[in-house]
Structure 1
């Protein structure tokens, strides 16, 4: 029995090690240099991939697990956070335009009668809006490939994460508010990952140094985890609805990330984090947040119903996002809420737009790059 037990333990350790070594961003051995996060069976390390079917790359860095206290005083609660990877920079126009271009690609694929979306495979589909009716709103502050993409809705950012997950085979999504704050803080206590607010100009594009314009991602110093522009540059979408105060139901508790997420039940306000190039230092704190407002942020939208994919007004012109990738994969059925969940009213708008031909549904999986190449040839 002892021999059998020893053999079983050795087998389990071997399987664990092999699994770790075969996981993107996990090294079997401790890196000689650079950031890493030690986990069972290996070490999480930074990685960069060529996004399949595109001309762009995605760079991710590891973020250690830990806890994040949300709120203050008696209303505060603690969130237990597992390790994850996060995009080194905010999603750029170079990356996001590859997603936008899927509209024409999906239309061509659909026209060939290939990869049609049905009730059976709709779980693997994303929505893409028609090309921008009035690009000047979206590109008001520029469209340099290295600038952060802006004005997309939270729903669009979630669909982007679903597309990225489908073509890579890994699970990407928006971070929760607690995960975002944990990553932004970089393991440093206080409102800024760099400590003294007097250093903010070295780490953030904000109103005092941006000269009234959006800048390129990754030009300032990174935080201790290697993440750029967590303070300033553009506000960043998270999964949560915007709340003025911590939920009373969580006060004093210690909960998981899944339990802490405030899933939206209304079209707005939804939560963005971290400040922008047009905000002062106070609004660039780790805890800073801004709630969306569809009526105001879509005031110039000529569409009826208003676009579920795009905003047109300031401050949405200062709102973007970045991706995260959890260490532990979830079953696809559980990922639906991270990619496709929408309040009923917004779901109606999406269906109305798709039914009117002002958007398209397309399947996203690891076979999509080959399908793209086929229609391009």
Structure 2
């Protein structure tokens, strides 16, 4: 084997090794506050459902049409962003009920963008909000969703919702995780996502890593909260508000592309 061949093999090994490292779940630490990022393998899934709690006066169901969506692999926060992490990045805690390891709340979509901008400056990485499609893919269990029905059955056994949360959010990670090892995707606090909201988003966007419509008045959020009935915690259920709105039941979870 000549020197040139050895060099090529070494370079290929380094590329493979680097790619493998990029796909490995990891822990990040900011000022002694750590958070975990879980690698989610890409795949396809059927996005939306026919239940249609938000059927509008027009008769439209914003969770239709059902469609097969392709998602590339990405990282997602194992937990909702906690008050402790938010304070370590931003220097203050905006939450109405201040308890360090509970999810941060009373943050607007605009606040979340500012948090992520500062987090990226501190870490040198490119964290972001999930897309609606990524969020739903994770909530359904990713590539394992066809074998796992827990995301739509007995939600209150795994989530802090109206009938068990005593009208307040709870410490993150105190209910069972989903099949991907990710906690509190349903219940506890709603989670802002990146997409602009539109009733007919699914008719206007593609099926390959959809990013939602390109403009609008409201931003989407997902997952339900401690004030939600189980029906509103279904993976397909869509909610929305103006990007400067702050609510005691509304927080975030971060993601990161490969």
Specify if TM > 0.5: yes
- SS of the aligned residue for 1:59 comes to strand
Q: How far did 1:183 drift? A: 1.0
Q: Which has the larger radius of gyration?
A: 1
SS of corresponding position for 1:206: coil
Q: Which residue of 2 aligns with 1:57?
A: 34
Gaps of 5+ in 1: 27-43, 102-130, 295-307, 328-377
Q: Please list, as runs of the form range in 1=range in 2, the aligned pairs for 1:214-229 lying within 5 A after superposition.
A: 214-229=169-184
Residue 325 in 1 paired to residue 256 in 2?
Answer: yes
Compared CA separation, residues 254 and 262, structure 1 to 2 (3 A): closer
Q: Indicate the residue corresponding to 2:15 in structure 1.
A: 16
The normalised TM-score by structure 2 is 0.83
Tell me by how many angstroms 1:270 deviates. Answer: 1.0
Following superposition, the deviation at residue 196 of structure 1 comes to 6.0
Deviations 1:89-148 (A, max 9, x none): 1001101122332xxxxxxxxxxxxxxxxxxxxxxxxxxxxx79xx7xx41xx1100111
CA distance in 2, matches of 1:196, 1:75: 19
Matched residue of 2:113: which SS?
Answer: helix
Residues 165, 263 of structure 1: alpha-carbon distance in 2 compared, 3 angstrom cutoff: farther
SS for the counterpart of 2:187 is coil
Q: CA deviation at 1:322?
A: 0.8
- 2:204 is aligned to 249
Aligned to 2:27: 48
- Classify 1:193/1:92 alpha carbon distance in 2 versus 1 (closer, same or farther; 3 Å): farther
Name the SS of the counterpart of 2:18 in structure 1: helix
Q: How far apart, in 2, do the equivalents of 1:3 and 1:97 lie?
A: 56
Once residues 75 and 155 of structure 1 are traced to their aligned partners in structure 2, the CA distance between those partners, rounded to angstroms, is 29
Confirm or deny that 1:91 pairs with 2:78: no
Change (3 A) 1:195 1:15: closer
Partner of 2:175, secondary structure, is coil
Equivalent residue, structure 2, for 1:113: none
Counterpart of 1:211 (choices 155, 166, 173) is 166
Q: Any conservation in 1 of the 2:90–2:118 contact (CA below 8 Å)?
A: no
1:273 to 209, 222, 226: 222
* Map 1:98-247 → 2, pairs under 5 A: 98-101=88-91, 138-139=95-96, 142-186=97-141, 187-189=144-146, 194=150, 197-198=153-154, 200-247=155-202
Return closer, same or farther for 1:317/1:196 CA change in 2, 3 Å cut-off: closer
CA distance in 2 between counterparts of 1:86 and 1:12 reads 29
Deviating runs (4+, > 4 A) in structure 1? 2-9
**TM-score (norm: length of structure 1):** 0.58
Q: Distance in 2 between matches of 1:75 and 1:201?
A: 27
Name the CA distance, whole Å, in 2 between partners of 1:92 and 1:81.
Answer: 26
SS in 1 for 2:121: helix
Structure having the higher helix fraction is: 1
Cα distance 1:324–1:193, how it changes in 2: closer, same or farther (>3 A)?
farther
The root-mean-square deviation of aligned C-alpha atoms, in Å, is 2.8
